[in-house]
Structure 1
Amino acid sequence: MKCVIVDDEPIARKGIKKLVVQISQLELLGSFNSAEAVSGFIQTTFVDLVFLDIQMPGINGIEFARSIPKHTLIIFTTAYSGYALDSYEVDAIDYLVKPIDPAKFRKAVDKAITYHSLLLEEDKKNIENIEDEYIFVKSDRRFFKVTLKDILFIEGLKDYVIIQMDGQRIITRMNVKNMHDLLPKSTFLRINRSYVVNKNHIDSFDNNDVFIKDHEIAIGNSYREAFFEEFMKNKPSQ
């Protein structure tokens, strides 16, 4: 699971990092000193789990938790026990009071891992019979056969994805990251937080956007380098 730490106290961040690196299932993507500092990162990078302090200058942890994408899980880490009830309102996985006991930390992480696995299983139930050339996608209580080469792009909207084809689109309950993970990377490329495109259908692109038929899709800042590396590697030398 990809995780981040958000805490305004350097010592607290260091202590949580020490606990995180001891758990092989966790991959620490970054450590931030405020909600404002991490908000842009979460908008452009898929994060599975946030270790989130509550009492911070500016936006506090409870307020920030309400803006975090639904697929991102939260474990609160705070010096104050009085916010426990508030944490339930934002569906936090657990609430740890500092100084954090390593055993309680591990228990909270195990709970997050279990819940994350359940979310993945729920997503996979909506995709059946993954083959080289097609997939079956559940939509409106039916499974629709979707030929991979016909997919123009996939758009993520909260807990759903829209599979866009020429003249047809199918909506299914799944997040865009898990959908991308199921598709062949040789053909499908993620170009921003919400879009995965079929490289074979790209008509043109510039420094900021990809054009597929009459659709214009922005290239995200954190995806730009990988995008141009992919498309320029076969460019003939001058």
Structure 2
Amino acid sequence: MAVVTPETEAGLAPPLRCLVVDDDPLSVQIVLNCVANTPFLRAAGSCNSAIEAAEILRTQEIDVLFLDVEMPLMSGLDLLRTLPHPPQVVLITSSQSYAVQAFEFAVADYLLKPLSYPRFLQAANKVLDAITAQRAAEADALPSSSAEFTFVKVDTKLVRVDFADVYYVEALGDYVHIVMKNSKFIVYSTMRAIEDKFPVGRFVRVHRSFIINIDHVQALEDNSLLIKDKYIPIGQTYLRGLSQRLNKL
């Protein structure tokens, strides 16, 4: 079972971003309270319909989905059928009848209402274990810190990107904007894919929408940093980890 490590408490590993989806406002609040009491989780949002959740999942990076099954117009299971790459999912429902279908969707856990915090924490730890293992596997496949370049697909061609020339990467909906010394590229990708592709020794996530090259940081002030002529916001969950990285330069 996963535990909260000193590194997690220190902010070196950002909390897992959670979306709570339930058509019952009281149930939403109960889950949000559980999330708030779990140090390695952070509520990224909540909504009362699977339709609204689908749009949030399309436009935001969510690590964990706490999902009710029975909702009007589109059920929680219907939502899962529409997701090609779903996050970790914990189903929360008042009926045991969906357990078999939950197994088919390979959800992390299946919780019955009324929800208790100990049972919620057990599910949260399962999710943390799964995501930790997944990220460790991804880290093993990352380019080494000695890698000097990669290729990205721009329109119909592959373009070389020299890591030393990259200032920062900004999320633009379903695309990312790679800003370099002498050029800019708009690439169909996710920020998570960029994190996997760019060497971790040089690049760091500072905000949900920004990855920066620490070699080009000119100043750090309050909750923003300066690269070239661009002030880039720093998300609160990333601030301490970034400060420690910069102190090592």
Q: TM-score, normalised by structure 2?
A: 0.62
- Percent identity of the aligned residues? 21
1:187 CA drift (Å): 2.4
1:103 CA drift (Å): 1.1
Q: CA, structure 1 residues 42+17, in 2 after alignment: closer, same or farther (shift >3 Å)?
A: same
Instruction: For 2:127, give the aligned amino acid.
Output: A
**Cα deviations across residues 212-238 of structure 1 (Å, max 9, x unaligned)?**
4xx7769xxx959xxxx989748xxxx
**Cα deviations across residues 139-162 of structure 1 (Å, max 9, x unaligned)?**
xxxxxxxx23x655699xxxxxxx
Q: CA, structure 1 residues 78+217, in 2 after alignment: closer, same or farther (shift >3 Å)?
A: closer
**Correspondence for 2:170:** 190
Task: Please state whether the residue corresponding to 1:15 is helix, strand or coil.
Answer: helix
CA contact (8 A) 2:22 2:47 kept: yes
Distance in structure 2 (CA, Å) of the matches to 1:154 and 1:75:
36
- After TM superposition, the structure 1 = structure 2 runs for residues 1-238 of structure 1, keeping only pairs within 5 Å, are 1-70=16-85, 72-131=87-146, 134=147, 147-148=148-149, 151=151, 164-166=158-160, 187-200=167-180, 203=183, 212=185, 233=230
Task: Please state whether the residue corresponding to 1:112 is helix, strand or coil.
Answer: helix
Task: Please state whether the residue corresponding to 2:99 is helix, strand or coil.
Answer: helix
- Please provide the CA RMSD for this pair: 3.4
Distance in structure 1 (CA, Å) of the matches to 2:52 and 2:145:
39
Instruction: For 1:75, give the aligned amino acid.
Output: V
**Cα deviations across residues 1-54 of structure 1 (Å, max 9, x unaligned)?**
111100000010011111110001001011100011111111011100000000
**Correspondence for 1:171:** none
Q: CA, structure 1 residues 196+153, in 2 after alignment: closer, same or farther (shift >3 Å)?
A: farther
Q: CA, structure 1 residues 107+77, in 2 after alignment: closer, same or farther (shift >3 Å)?
A: same
Distance in structure 2 (CA, Å) of the matches to 1:230 and 1:36:
38
CA contact (8 A) 1:152 1:201 kept: no
Distance in structure 1 (CA, Å) of the matches to 2:230 and 2:178:
17
CA contact (8 A) 1:153 1:197 kept: no
Q: CA, structure 1 residues 102+195, in 2 after alignment: closer, same or farther (shift >3 Å)?
A: same
Instruction: For 1:127, give the aligned amino acid.
Output: L
Distance in structure 1 (CA, Å) of the matches to 2:88 and 2:53:
15
1:65 CA drift (Å): 1.3
**Cα deviations across residues 84-123 of structure 1 (Å, max 9, x unaligned)?**
0100111100000000121111000000000001110111
Alignment coverage as a number of residue pairs = 181
Higher RCO (CA 8 Å, separation ≥ 6 residues): 2
Instruction: For 1:84, give the aligned amino acid.
Output: A
1:198 CA drift (Å): 3.1
Q: Can you give the 5+ residue segments of structure 2 that lack an aligned partner in the other structure?
A: 1-15, 190-207, 211-225, 232-249
Instruction: For 1:165, give the aligned amino acid.
Output: V
Q: Can you give the 5+ residue segments of structure 1 that lack an aligned partner in the other structure?
A: 135-146, 156-163, 169-182, 205-211
Q: TM-score, normalised by structure 1?
A: 0.65
CA contact (8 A) 2:170 2:176 kept: yes
Q: CA, structure 1 residues 57+113, in 2 after alignment: closer, same or farther (shift >3 Å)?
A: same
Task: Please state whether the residue corresponding to 2:91 is helix, strand or coil.
Answer: strand
